[in-house]
Amino acid sequence: MKLVKIVSDQLLTSSEVGELLQVNPSSVKKWVDDGLLIAFRTPGGHRRIRAADLVTFLVRHDMPIPADLQDAAKKRLLIVDDEVDQLKALSRSLKRFADKVEVTTTSNGIDALVLVGSFHPHAVLLDVYMPGIDGLEVCRRLKKNPATKDVAVYVVSGAFTSALEQKALEAGAVKCLPKPIDVRVVLSLMFPARGGELEARAQ
């Protein structure tokens, strides 16, 4: 069976992973048993592997990523900032990484909460000071919702302080970043296993 355009959240069986990588399914099972490849078991005892976790495994072990997995290697990033110039600048900077990052932007917290439900981002780059719902409140709401609690939130601010950083972390953010945003930092956070490679492209 040929698998095409596999997305990051798609679940694969050991046999499907074996077919993709042209290896015996028993090798896949051994990787899982040895803790090298993340997997979980269904109530019936069958292994399932997220495509994104498979990509991470391949990158960490310097193995080529099959063409069918290229879409799974991409991550979705939602950028939320009421400063339009900031949105445009970040979007331009990330265009060269279109093969790795799919970007959507919005300028307010209300739309951000709606977009998280439809765009399903892996990460949100969230400005703190916005009219209406501020970034910290958006972060709190995302973390309280079981459907969005696993989304990585990176809070950003042009008025960065240690006190603000503490508030952001308490709200559930992974990290608080000062403006102007360094695209290399964002990429290293989103792709920890490939940080060096992507940072080099950002030079």
**95/180 same-domain check:** yes
- Look up the domain containing 148 and give its range: 75-202
Read off the tokens for 79: 């950028």
**149/171 same-domain check:** yes
Read off the tokens for 70: 């290229």
Which ranges of the chain have pLDDT less than 70? 1-8, 71-73, 193-203
Does residue 53 lie in a domain region?
yes
β-strands 40-41, 47-50 pairing: antiparallel
**CATH assignment of the domain containing 89:** 3.40.50.2300
- Give 149-187 pLDDT, tens digit per residue: 889 999 999 888 899 899 999 999 999 999 888 888 988
* pLDDT at residue number 7: 62
Spatial neighbors of 25 by CB under 8 A, at least 6 apart, are 14, 15, 17, 18
How far is 41 from 84, CA to CA, in rounded Å? 45
**CATH assignment of the domain containing 16:** 1.10.1660.10
Q: Judge whether 182 and 153 are in contact, CB under 8 Å.
A: no
> Can you tell me whether residue 145 is helix, strand or coil?
coil
Does residue 32 lie in a domain region?
yes
How far is 172 from 119, CA to CA, in rounded Å? 20
